[in-house]
Amino acid sequence: MIVDIKRRFRPWTLFWLTFLWMALQGEFTWANFFAGLAIALLIVFGLPLPAMPVQGLTIHWGKFFSLMAAWVGNLMFASVKVAWLALRPTPPPRTSIVRVPMRVQNELILSFATMLFNLQPGGSVTDIDIANRMWTVHLLDTDTDEDLQRELASVARLEKRLIETFERR
């Protein structure tokens, strides 16, 4: 029981939840501080999150910032591309649903990859087979085989960057 409480106790989480509560109330008073602290304690101890699968993970900060910069660039490009596909005076593009193998070993990084891919317009992960490390992906604008290969290469680049950033091999 004591070990479980020690594992759940996160001082920074309590601090940020208390600060967030006071910010949402609009004024910094002692009453808001104690109410925020009580709510933070209730959240931390009453609604615990499961342990994160972080064994073997490190963050290479330079590669992380490179990953984020590349992702923002891809986000801008994909947004303009999807807007053009929606506004152009031709029929809608052909779409594809494909299965893509993922080499990411850690489930947390697999969820990061899914989140990063789904936040960009032009494609979405519709199913994840965790046991076999496979995505089922819906891709927009795959009129030709070259377009399909370009989209699959984009998924492979994202995966490669995540492996380089987070996983030790």
**117 and 162 belong to one structural domain:** yes
**85 and 128 belong to one structural domain:** yes
| For range 18-38, the mean pLDDT | 93
**106 and 140 belong to one structural domain:** yes
Kindly provide the residue ranges of all beta strands, DSSP E only, lying in the chain, ordered along the sequence.
96-101, 123-129, 134-139
* Each residue's pLDDT tens digit, 116-152: 999 999 889 999 998 898 999 999 988 889 999 999 9
**94 and 142 belong to one structural domain:** yes
Separation in Å, CA 127 to CA 34, 113, 135, 164? 44, 13, 6, 24
Residue 2 pLDDT exceeds 70 = no
Q: With respect to residue 51, please indicate whether it lies within any of the assigned structural domains.
A: no
Per-residue pLDDT band for 4 (boundaries 50, 70, 90) equals low
Number of domains in the chain: 2
* Each residue's pLDDT tens digit, 56-110: 678 899 999 999 999 999 999 999 999 999 998 888 889 999 999 999 888 888 9
Q: With respect to residue 158, please indicate whether it lies within any of the assigned structural domains.
A: yes
d(CA 155, CA 92): 23
Q: Is 125 helix (H, G, I), strand (E, B) or coil?
A: strand
**28 and 71 belong to one structural domain:** no
| pTM value surpassing 0.75 | no
**96 and 156 belong to one structural domain:** yes
* Each residue's pLDDT tens digit, 94-105: 999 999 999 988
Domain hosting 148: range is 61-166
Q: With respect to residue 99, please indicate whether it lies within any of the assigned structural domains.
A: yes
